[in-house]
Amino acid sequence: MDIKRAYRFRFYPSPEQESILARTFGCARFAYNHMLRMRSDAWLKEQKRVGYHETSAALTLLKKQPEFVWLNEVSSVPVQQALRHLQTAFVNFFAKRARYPQFKRKDGPQSAEYTTSAFKWDGQTLKLAKMEEPLAIRWSRQLPKAAKVTTVTVSRDASGRYFVSMLCDDVVAAKPAVSAKVGIDLGLSHFAILSTGEKVAAPNTFRKNEAKLAKLQRRLAKKTKGSNRRRKAKLKVAKLHAKIADSRRDFLHKLSTRLINENQVIAVESLSVSNMQKNRRLSKSIADASWSEFLRQLEYKAKWYGRELIGIDRWYPSSKRCSDCGYTAPKMPLNVRQWTCPECGSIHDRDVNAARNVLAAGLAASARREAVSPVSL
Query: Would you name the residues annotated as active-site residues?
Result: 185, 269, 351
CB proximity list for 94: less than 8 A, separation 6 or greater = none
Nearest-angstrom CA–CA distance, 341 and 318: 14
Task: Count Cβ atoms below 10 Å from residue 312 Cβ, excluding itself.
Answer: 26
Q: Letter for the amino acid at 374?
A: P
Residue 186's nearest CA partner among 289, 112, 278 is 289
Longest dimension (CA), the chain: 84
**What number of CA atoms fall less than 13 Å from residue 144's CA on the CB side?**
16
The pair phi, psi for residue 201, each rounded to 5°, is: -65, 145
213 touches 240 (CB < 8 A): yes
Integer Cα distance of 60 and 67 in angstroms = 14
- Calculate the dihedral angle through the C-alpha atoms of 145, 146, 151, 153, rounding to the nearest 10 degrees: -30
Residue 362: which residues within 8 A CB-CB, separation 6 or more?
Answer: 183, 265, 267, 268, 310, 311, 312, 371
In this structure, the chain runs to a length of 377
Rg of the chain taking only CA atoms, in angstroms: 25
Residue-wise DSSP of 28-97 = HHHHHHHHHHHHHHHHHHH-----HHHHHHHHHHHHTSGGGGGGGGS-HHHHHHHHHHHHHHHHHHHTTS
Beta carbons within 10 angstroms of residue 303's beta carbon: 14
Three-state DSSP string of 297-353: HHHHHHHHHCCEEEEECCCCCCCCECCCCCCECCCCCCCCCEEECCCCCCEEEHHHH
Q: Which residues, including other chains, have CB under 8 Å from residue 358's CB and lie 6 or more apart?
A: 183, 184, 185, 195, 267, 268, 269, 312, 316, 318
For residue 137, the SS3 value is strand
